[in-house]
Amino acid sequence: MTRRPIGELRSQRWFASDDMRGFAHRQRTQQMGLRREEFLGKPVVAIINTWSDLSPCHSHLRDRAEAVKRGVWQAGGYPVELPALSVGEVMVKPTTMLYRNFLAMEVEELLRSHPIDGAVLLGGCDKSTPGLLMGAISMDIPVIYCPAGPMSSGQWRGQKTGAGTHTKKYWDELRAGNITQGDWVDLESRMTRSIGTCNTMGTASTMTSIVDAMGLTLPGASSIPAADSGHPRMASLCGERIVEMIWEDWKPSRFLDAKSFRNGLVTYMALGGSTNAAVHLIAMARRANVDLTLDDMSDMAGRVPVCANLFPSGEYLMEDFYFAGGLLALLKKLERHLDRDGMTVNGKSLGENIAGAECWNDEVIRGEDNPIVPLSRGKTLALLRGNLAPNGAVMKSSAANPKFLKHVGPALVFDNPAEMNRTIDDPGLDVTEDTVIVLRNAGPVGAPGMPEWGNLPIPKKLLKQGVRDMVRICDGRMSGTHYGTCILHVAPEAAVGGPLGLLRTGDLVELDVEAGRLDMKVDEAELQRRRAEWKPTAHVYGRSFAALYQRHVSQADQGCDFDFLSAPGPVVEPSIF
Ligand code: FES
């Protein structure tokens, strides 16, 4: 590719101008101890860092920022580190989803308002990947995503333990009386063995793998464990490559297209990835001006079976996946579904990047002829519509008990999690394995932020009977590390008048996954009567980010982005003054 002249770089508007402003920019940079020749005439690379002391998955990103800087200096650039909102999943209440768009706005504004020519984005925990990339796609300057990497494999008493997946599993065993309080405390220190994101195919690895296949990371970067020495080497390479990308003006609008998203979808389905990705991918596609709908995802889910044998759909961990050949080996096995011409940050096509990929363990990385879950038994993403979800609801049918995929049962409806938690373990609760548990007002506006409440608890009295799965319905989301017959993202949500708000305890609910249906067996006249009586109950925020969020967020099937940000448009460059 041809190299742009230095005068075309946006940073030169700050540093090269021969006026008082230019003087101040040069003067103030030298105030920080840099020599003129260390930054003048060089591409300026932002390292957007989501490190925080309250974000365990990102605890190593300060070190990785140093590795990126090393690569940038080596390649003749000038690295500058800019902190951004961390959105660490485990500590943020009610949910980091409330702040995904906030992070996207922050990234866009950081890049827009500063003398930045290109960026390396450091993130990994769930919402950080879409948040960082949504902002960067809107800003449209050269960017590379540097994923934090999954943590090392955990074990407890000889059994593999995966972050999230086994927390939920052992929590149910504790409530059922099958493990002791001492066991539970012992587990605390054993599951999460190292730095890095969850070691299961949760939302973090789903999203980092998808954007890897879309060409937004260095090839295969998403599979490198955080604690592996290859990880800082990958970070350094990101720094080196971003400088070349700046000279080439290799920005998202030049390669991120429908082909990229198609490759992302193939990856999503083959991984048995998190339902959360459905929301994030639509939001990212809209920023990139690519048409993508839940129907496109459902269509791909019907073609590509789950081939990665990883928790929660399978039985291995991310470190096993890496040693088996990682994402590139998986993509090589699924080559016929991919658009091999999709271009990537290294300037090569996906087809070129996977050409030499090899699989070292066919049990961990399966082919279509030997999937973890055959398509006839379940899919990564099943799309449901009906009078309970006119605009769609999703479920991971590959992680559900097959006997529930066609089911009719009476609803047990909760209006909020506090009510549910007060009641669910009552020994006198009128509930059987056939009951359909419902939690509403957990959507984008209602909660707000659509928290991961959707893996609704199994009542204790049923746990004691050995029940481990039931049909559950929620207008919120579910952790990608979880499993079960959980119907999620019901749209429109109850809080904005969606029909989930009309359902009552005792109404029959019918689920037919093969037919793609989710209905309440209530006649239309009765529904009309209930609709006339319905009143919004969600708390309306008058201040804080939640107020902005409630006013502008779209529904789950539209990606939950803000109405004023989702449409692509020209970035308004700051005035020179
Ligand atoms: Fe951060 Fe799972 S909690 S990746």
- In this structure, are strands 406-414 and 382-386 parallel, antiparallel, or unpaired? unpaired
> How confident is residue 566, by pLDDT bands cut at 50, 70 and 90?
confident
In a domain, 420, yes or no: yes
State CA 568 to chain mean position distance.
Answer: 21
Q: Which atom of ligand 1 is nearest to the CA of 89?
A: 3
Residue to mutate (ligand 1; options 86, 90, 222; most atoms within 8 A of CB): 90
> How confident is residue 570, by pLDDT bands cut at 50, 70 and 90?
low
Residues 311, 442 within the same domain: no
My answer on whether omega of the bond before 5 falls inside 30° of 0, hence cis, is no
Residues 91, 239 within the same domain: yes
In a domain, 246, yes or no: yes
Residue nearest to atom 1 of ligand 1 (CA): 125
Residues 247, 346 within the same domain: yes
In a domain, 14, yes or no: no
In a domain, 559, yes or no: no
Residues 347, 211 within the same domain: yes
Residues 139, 285 within the same domain: yes
- The answer to whether the beta carbons of residues 72 and 45 sit under 8 Å apart is yes
Using the predicted structure, report yes or no on whether residue 577 has a pLDDT greater than 50: no
CATH of the domain at 447: 3.50.30.80
Residues 150, 294 within the same domain: yes
- Residue 58, CA distances (Å) to 9, 330, 411 in order: 31, 26, 40
Residues 290, 148 within the same domain: yes
The string over 53-87, giving b where at least 16 C-beta atoms fall within 10 Å of a residue's C-beta and e elsewhere, is eebbbbbbbeebbbbbbbbbbebebbbbbbbbbbb
Residues 339, 236 within the same domain: yes
CATH of the domain at 295: 3.40.50.2300
How many structural domains is the chain composed of? Answer: 2
Q: Please state, in angstroms and rounded to a whole number, the distance separating the CA atoms of residues 574 and 502.
A: 49
Element (H, E) at 160: strand 159-161
In a domain, 183, yes or no: no
pLDDT (tens digit, 9 = 90+) per residue, 170-180?
A: 998 998 899 99
Q: Which atom of ligand 1 is nearest to the CA of 57?
A: 1
Q: Which atom of ligand 1 is nearest to the CA of 481?
A: 2
Give residue 197 CA to ligand 1 midpoint distance, Å: 5
Which residues form the pocket of ligand 1, taking CB atoms under 6 Å from any ligand atom? 57, 89-90, 125-126, 163-164, 197-198, 202, 204
> How confident is residue 480, by pLDDT bands cut at 50, 70 and 90?
confident
Phi, psi of 108 (to 5 degrees): -60, -45
The boundaries of the domain holding residue 263 are 42-154+195-354
Residues 228, 324 within the same domain: yes
Give residue 401 CA to ligand 1 midpoint distance, Å: 25
- Residue 60, CA distances (Å) to 89, 119, 232 in order: 16, 19, 10
What is the tally of helices (H) and strands (E) in the chain?
22, 14
pTM comes to 0.97
Residues 101, 241 within the same domain: yes
Q: Please state, in angstroms and rounded to a whole number, the distance separating the CA atoms of residues 352 and 357.
A: 10
Give residue 540 CA to ligand 1 midpoint distance, Å: 29
pLDDT (tens digit, 9 = 90+) per residue, 40-77?
A: 999 999 999 999 999 999 999 999 999 999 999 999 99
Phi, psi of 472 (to 5 degrees): -130, 145
- Residue 173, CA distances (Å) to 37, 167, 455 in order: 63, 10, 16
Residue 433: CB partners within 8 Å, gap ≥ 6?
Answer: 462, 465, 467, 470
Give residue 202 CA to ligand 1 midpoint distance, Å: 8
Q: Please state, in angstroms and rounded to a whole number, the distance separating the CA atoms of residues 318 and 205.
A: 8
In a domain, 265, yes or no: yes
Q: Which atom of ligand 1 is nearest to the CA of 163?
A: 2
Per the DSSP assignment, residues forming a β-bridge with 438 are 413, 473
pLDDT (tens digit, 9 = 90+) per residue, 285-317?
A: 999 999 999 999 999 999 999 999 999 889 999
Residues 329, 390 within the same domain: no
pLDDT (tens digit, 9 = 90+) per residue, 494-525?
A: 999 999 999 999 999 999 999 999 999 999 99
In a domain, 162, yes or no: no
Residues 431, 312 within the same domain: no
pLDDT (tens digit, 9 = 90+) per residue, 338-393?
A: 999 999 999 999 999 999 999 999 999 999 999 999 999 999 999 999 999 999 99
- Residue 514, CA distances (Å) to 382, 385, 411 in order: 8, 11, 21
Name the least confident of 276-285, 326-335, 536-545: 536-545
Give residue 164 CA to ligand 1 midpoint distance, Å: 8
Higher model confidence: residue 188 or residue 503?
503
Q: Which atom of ligand 1 is nearest to the CA of 58?
A: 1
Element (H, E) at 508: strand 508-512
- Residue 495, CA distances (Å) to 206, 456, 478, 526 in order: 29, 19, 18, 20
CB atoms near residue 573 (< 10 Å) = 10
Q: Which atom of ligand 1 is nearest to the CA of 205?
A: 4
In a domain, 178, yes or no: no
